[in-house]
Structure 1
Amino acid sequence: MNGWAHHLIIAPVLLPLAAAAILLFIDERSRMLKGLVSLAAALLLVVISFVLFRIESGPNDFEGVYLLGNWTAPFGIVLVLDALSALMLLLTSLLGLAALVYSLARWHTVGAHFHTMFQLLLMGVNGAFLTGDLFNLFVFFEVMLAASYGLLLHGSGPLRVKAGMHYIAVNLAAALLFLIGVSLIYGTTGTLNMADLAARIPEIEPDRRMLMEAGAGVLGIAFLIKAGMWPLCFWLPTAYSAASAPVAGIFAILSKLGIYVILRLTMLLFGDGPSAGFGANVLLYGGIATLIFGIIGVLASQALGRLAGFSVLVSSGTLLMVLGINDGAVSSGALLYLVSSTLTIGAFFMLIELVERGQDAGANVLAVTMEAYGDADEDEPEEGDGVTMPGTMAILGTCFAACGILLAGLPPLSGFVAKFAMLSSMMGTGAIGVPPTAAVWTLVVLVILSGVASLIAMTRAGIRTFWGSIEGTVPRVLVIEIVPVMFLLGLTLVLTVQAGPAMQYMDTTIRTLANPSVYIDAVRNATVITDYDDQAKVSTEGTN
């Protein structure tokens, strides 16, 4: 990666930062102008992320190390672009574009500085995916959290404010744990650069290694809170369901940020050596507990928002389990599942608001009560009678059915492809062909049960929403609102059609992560730019 392409690595951080700064100088009454500036930045971010993704998916060697200030590691700040970070950047930019377009219908006008906070959220998330040292991971993590506080409270309302206060308290605690963990790691190793840290860990004395692992454990708790691992996840369904539709849509990537950091640090720092496998059992059994809790929550949820919130926990639990078993073939399918579930849940959060516009307040509660006490209207239509479904409801129903198929992992969409890839590898029919253990069989059963639970919950919710006996009005849906939902669901269709190349990319990504020496050597051997010295020498010789 040379020339102008090399400088694109910093663009996903600088672009939203610059857009946020520009938006602060635009008067809040100029809603259209602010929306256009924010949309232009989001579109450009998608283009940049796609270019970086294409570069990383090509035959080039790993060269995506950007030295800020032209200082080498570990003394300078570095940004690192590899296959995993390029994938997460592209996923974030696509989800962010869809959520931003959706917000332009009305949500960006119900509070101040929506677009500024949205761009700062993108900056924090992108920076966390790109950074190569723990301190700047903390900085970007805090930027992301600060923006998410304002976005969650955007639109006010007592339920949103209450959920927002809980969200802020929990994440402030997570930030404190993050700082404590980073301090312990720096105190024992003398570095926070990830590559340099990975190289020093095998050389640490056993007594100091215990303190370093304690710091890593505290740091891991901070990201397990963000990932939503049980019992640290009770805040998540309430907070996500209380957020406005576009905010909940972009929040779908935040739990995956926790998964990303855990995957990155686990493979890089604890892939081999004396600390190999550190925390694997916590991830395995914590993932199992999270998945069980998510399954129960999905089945118990009557409100669509809480159903989507518990679906986030189902996704997180599945991914944490895979990280715990540390199997390359299973991890490849899990990466595909991460992308598919993030797109699906983001689309589902935005779709929920459109669907619920046609329902009277308390319609779901009344429907449940009538079913429980047998008071439902059982009048059968006469022969020849029929009901005509308006076009709006037909489109919403189709999108709802697609979300149900994706969440349940039914064929033919990408949710099925990802789960099939994971399950086939778990049962020994994948690339490694290792007979499954009792723990792996437990995972297989839970993954299947999670799909069954999602199918039951989505079918029940769909019947009540689109075919229930309680009368509702046809919602007024703008094109700018339904298009982002269809866009995200369309991306899952593309992922299904291109499942072969997608799985090859995931396999390559996991193999690169499993060989941390590639990452370590690339960062530690990155050279500073000396073109200006050569130019000065040439000009001096010409003068003489």
Structure 2
Amino acid sequence: MMPATEHLIIAPILIPLIAGALMLLYDDRQRKAKLTISIGAAIALLFVAFELLNRSKGNALSGGNEISFYLLGNWAVPFGIILVLDRLSAMMLVLVALLAIPTLIYAGANWHKQGQHFQSLFQFLLVGLNGAFLTGDLFNLFVFFEVLLAASYGLLLHGSGQLKVRAGLHYIAMNLAASLFFLIGVSLIYGVTGTLSMAHLSQMVMNIPESERALFHAGAAIMGIAFLTKAGLWPLSFWLPTTYMASAAPVAAMFAIMTKVGVYVILRLSMLLFAQGAGESAGFGSTVLIWGGMATMVYGFLGVLSAQGLGRMAAHLVLISSGTILAVTGLALEGGGAAMLSGALYYMISSTLATGTLFLLLEPMSREEGGIAAMLALTSDAYGLDPDDDEEVEVGTAIPGTMTVLGLSFGACLLVLGGLPPLSGFIGKVAMLTGMFGNGDLSPLQNWTFLTVLMLAGFATVIGLVRIGIQTFWASDSAPPKVMAMEIAPVLLLVAMIGLMTVRGDDVLRYMDATARALHDPLIYSDGVFATRRVTGGAGTAGGESE
């Protein structure tokens, strides 16, 4: 029989799935109960994610292994569905939970009243995110990809407004097209290899006949378009700034991690299928990732300089973050080494938390008296809700030092995203550049071009955010905005996470370094998956563990 603790790998999928389904049974006016269930589920996810993170380090619970597996339906690999937990997937699970909890608390300050089923849609989004990070085969990657997209459609359209509807329609059209590319690419890969298991593909890629290798590369490239669209690679990113700007603040904050789903899949598949040991396929797509990533960074910082509002600026900052990781992934395929990649992973976590914080700061920093109350009243009327049956709609209560708290939080985001000391953005960029220039396998052109673009992006970020900060905190003569404690507390929580990443920078970087080394050795992943044995001796048991 399989130990009960080994079933924990599937918990990040089941917890939000059960919570989301349960909340559908509640009347939409029972928002306090829904909010309690949703936040409780997110907190449970955080505890589970940290436990899985500990297991990925190779402790006693995981038998000394750095990678764990779970066979759904108890079918042997590569025929069955498998969930794979390693350092990278565990890190992403923690990031999802860390961002979800403050976002849900913030949404409890009136935002969840703008439409129906907000909490259930949010939980189903977590199902898709966690499933995408855990799955070990391309078919179920598509399934979880569609689950998170379906939930994101509802969340994006949550509320009212012409801009929201127009941006939502563009977003849906782009992602439907991306899903089509995904299916075409997966079909070509399956036609050549006869498998969709990532581990199996990793072992087969060296032995693909030369007559079929071009078709395999075509399938990988077509499938890659789907995830590069989600990651925001230029020129596939034209939809992203308007979409993120039009979203409700908590939705946009959670969307900051959705671009990282595309980045994660590109990183995972690139290091499994096209790393240095992949024979004739080694380095495939690296040029596109390197120069496309840097082009995305340029597009992002030009957008930051031209943006007149914080919402559009924050969306372009998301593109700078994604472009940086994609460029480093391409450099890693060409021999960039683990040190550079570990710095990029550290920067990815830090920048995701910072951009999420900026989206939560967006509305309080630009709030006009009665604005949100009017919007919520309009939404209640549109959905036929009776205000007498719900809590009183309030803009918020002014707390002491509102502008000081907002200003300090905004300043922390500026330091992180601009890459200035002493916060974590500076540490991540220094780690990336140290790894890059300490490796002799990359060309000077690549090194110096990336350095130039990275520095320009940081400089442009500082200029853009300082301009917004001056307009908001110094040049404005209006009275301080009324802000709820439920809106300030999540922002401070995210800033505290950034501060903790800075203080514990050595520990976090050591974890990232071990993660990067494991990614550079795909045999750890593929051999571990095929060493997974079926569970015997118990009826109805569905699971597996590494031998």
So what's the TM-score if we normalise by structure 2? 0.90
Q: Equivalent residue for 1:450?
A: 457
Structure 2 counterparts to residues 16-415 of structure 1, below 5 A:
16-59=16-59, 60-271=64-275, 272=277, 273-326=279-332, 327=336, 328-358=338-368, 391-415=401-425
Query: Alpha-carbon deviations, 1:184-230, whole Å to 9, x = none?
Result: 11111000011111111222111211111100000100000000000
Give the Cα–Cα distance (whole angstroms) in 1 for the partners of residues 273 and 322 of structure 2. Answer: 22
Measure how far apart 1:57 and its partner are.
Answer: 2.5
Q: Equivalent residue for 1:526?
A: 532
* Number of residue pairs aligned between Structure 1 and Structure 2: 502
Any gaps of 5 or more consecutive residues in structure 1? 362-388, 536-544
Query: Alpha-carbon deviations, 1:355-383, whole Å to 9, x = none?
Result: 1115899xxxxxxxxxxxxxxxxxxxxxx
Measure how far apart 1:436 and its partner are.
Answer: 5.6
Give the Cα–Cα distance (whole angstroms) in 1 for the partners of residues 205 and 512 of structure 2. Answer: 28
Residues 427 and 436, structure 1, Cα contact 8 Å, conserved in 2: no
Give the Cα–Cα distance (whole angstroms) in 1 for the partners of residues 128 and 174 of structure 2. Answer: 18
Measure how far apart 1:3 and its partner are.
Answer: 2.6
Measure how far apart 1:37 and its partner are.
Answer: 1.0
The structure with higher relative contact order (CA 8 Å, sep 6+) is: 2
Q: Equivalent residue for 1:439?
A: 446
Q: Does 1:502 align with 2:508?
A: yes
Distance 1:453 1:320, change over 3 A: same
Residues 419 and 429, structure 2, Cα contact 8 Å, conserved in 1: yes
Query: Alpha-carbon deviations, 1:251-290, whole Å to 9, x = none?
Result: 0000011010000000001112220101000001101111
Query: Alpha-carbon deviations, 1:476-498, whole Å to 9, x = none?
Result: 11111111111111111111111
Q: Which moved more, 1:231-240 or 1:192-201?
A: 192-201
Distance 1:153 1:76, change over 3 A: same
Across the aligned residues of Structure 1 and Structure 2, the Cα RMSD in angstroms comes to 1.6
Any gaps of 5 or more consecutive residues in structure 2? 372-398, 542-547
Residues 337 and 415, structure 1, Cα contact 8 Å, conserved in 2: yes
Distance 1:306 1:521, change over 3 A: same
Aligned to 2:70, what secondary structure does the other structure show?
strand
Give the Cα–Cα distance (whole angstroms) in 2 for the partners of residues 231 and 294 of structure 1. Answer: 11
Moved beyond 3 Å, runs of 4+: 358-361, 432-436
Residue type matched to 1:103 in 2?
A: A
Give the Cα–Cα distance (whole angstroms) in 2 for the partners of residues 139 and 68 of structure 1. Answer: 15
Measure how far apart 1:30 and its partner are.
Answer: 0.9
Residues 284 and 324, structure 1, Cα contact 8 Å, conserved in 2: yes
Residues 58 and 66, structure 2, Cα contact 8 Å, conserved in 1: no
Give the Cα–Cα distance (whole angstroms) in 2 for the partners of residues 333 and 524 of structure 1. Answer: 30
Give the Cα–Cα distance (whole angstroms) in 2 for the partners of residues 63 and 95 of structure 1. Answer: 24
Kindly, what percent of the aligned residue pairs are identical?
53
Residues 13 and 123, structure 1, Cα contact 8 Å, conserved in 2: yes
Aligned to 1:531, what secondary structure does the other structure show?
coil
So what's the TM-score if we normalise by structure 1? 0.90
